[in-house]
Structure 1
Amino acid sequence: MGLVRTGCPAPRCPSADHKDRRHPPSVPTPELTPYLPPIPVERREEQISHVSLPSAWEDYDFLFSATVRWCPTGKPAEEPIVNPAGLAVEAVLKRARAITKDREPGWASFVQHELSGALSRMQPEPTGHLQAMAEAITLTLSEHDQERLSSLASVRKDKAVWEHQRKYEQSKREYLGDDVLKDTGSAVVWWLAKNDDQVHKAVEDLGLLAQLTSAANDTDVPERLLHLLSPPNAEDAETEEADSLGTAGQPLGQTGSTADHFDTFLQGMGLDADDVRRGILTRQIAEILVTQGRNETAEELLRRFDAPTTPFNDDFDMDSATGDSSGP
């Protein structure tokens, strides 16, 4: 029967283990490199504010503000680009101007969104070395221009309302003049259409409608319709006749006597025929007339308004009033 080998490893030599502990494996030493600062990140955006861009109206400019961004295309340049921001801004403004020059200033808010879409894509600038775009875009008008546009809008709206009213009135006049009041028959038919349940009233107003149509056409009432006109009121006729005459019964425009005018004066003063003040005032006026040498007029006034039997009473002396002491 032979010996059986087990799986245990054979014992190592103690001298070999001692040798491994005295000489550990060597580790490479890292080489020392000098410290270099980080490369600065290239700034590729530029803020622009309130740049004037033309509109479709002269002297009404948009005010454009945005953040312009760019990136190089990698195309080799014969000369170094000193100011890439300037090229990018120029390219963006050129693209924006091509849009705003055909837009009305009153649409500033709408054009702002249009520019936001048109300038949101990177596109090469004319030299081909950069691509540029814009974001955070605002488009406004100056305060004074906005006030002027609001005033113009108000005027246009008022004018439109006025034009509408004028055309409505013109149409209404044409309807009344050319259709309703063309003649008495048309006026009667129109009246019946408006008041179809008042036939008797229409018959009563035939004369009025005839007068109305004649006045609308600047013509006389036809002879066949004259009998429809109502005769003038007797009281109105008397009033018109009295107005055409003066207070003394004389037509206006004709001169009456002094006594007639004096009678009008007394009535205007509120002195009736039975008022004693009429005589007192008449005698005072007569005395004044005598001093002016108007004896006949004074006698006429006294005869008519003071003492009908005698031209003067005992208290009034014509000679003393005139200053003549010689008797007849």
Structure 2
Amino acid sequence: MSGRPWPDTRPGPLGAFGAWWRRRRDLGRVEDFTYAVPQSSHQQEFETPLPSAVYGLDFRVKFTVVYRLDLHTGLRHHAPRSAAINSIVQRARAISSQAMLVHHAPLQHQLGAELAEEQQVPETHVWARAEQVKISVDEGDLEMARKHIELLRNSTVRHAERELERAEIRYLRDEVLTDVGTATIWWLQRNGYEVERAVQLAGELQELVRIARHTSDPHWAESLVSSFERALPRLDDGHRRDLRQHLAKALGVYGGSSVAAEFADQVGLPAAEQHMNGNSPHV
């Protein structure tokens, strides 16, 4: 009997052996272990041109691609580095192709923010992001971009002026010089209601009305547009221009590029507008 003041509860030889055996048995259970597959991370510097919104004028971008391999996905790619770089380049191209070259400074921050988000390369076990994004532009290309913007601005102003002139002509032809009475009232309103002077000009106003209403042998393009505009009298100037563009496109599809070009020339539609949104006439 033990000399301790409390009962001896230590296991005997058989009990100790049984406890040891249970510990050894439990160590062999696979489900008691959680195996974490290591994830490898890599970096690769890369430099490439990126397209801008103007064909032929490119940004120059340099960045560090950071990618890792996630072996939990069950997917594999035999060239993970190329997959990561290609993914970053495609993401960058989608953004840069909407920007003008003169906006290279804010574009650098936009790319830095967008590409810093880690994304999985589709159908692969590769996750990629980019760091240290730097954009540069060639000074010659930058000067060409500025000239391109200036040309676009001048073209827009000239086109607006022509549209204003056409609107004024349509107004005089379709609403003022329709008859002598309307023309006389229009003249009075513009000239301080000098009635006596208007009476003296009655013959000249009548001649103007006759000239304005002379419609012998109109060009087929003008007749086509006039027919649509008479059918849709509430169209504003913007919709009238859209109508001409749609007609030019339809004529290009069914009549060929020469017919579309003749139509555009007769109705004052700039040739560039025939190719708006990449829609060019097909022969």
Specify the TM-score bucket, using the shorter chain as the normaliser: 0.3 to 0.5
Say which structure, 1 or 2, has more relative contact order (CA 8 Å, 6+ apart).
2
- More helix by percentage: 2
TM-score (ref. length: structure 1)? 0.39
Is the radius of gyration larger for structure 1 or structure 2? 1
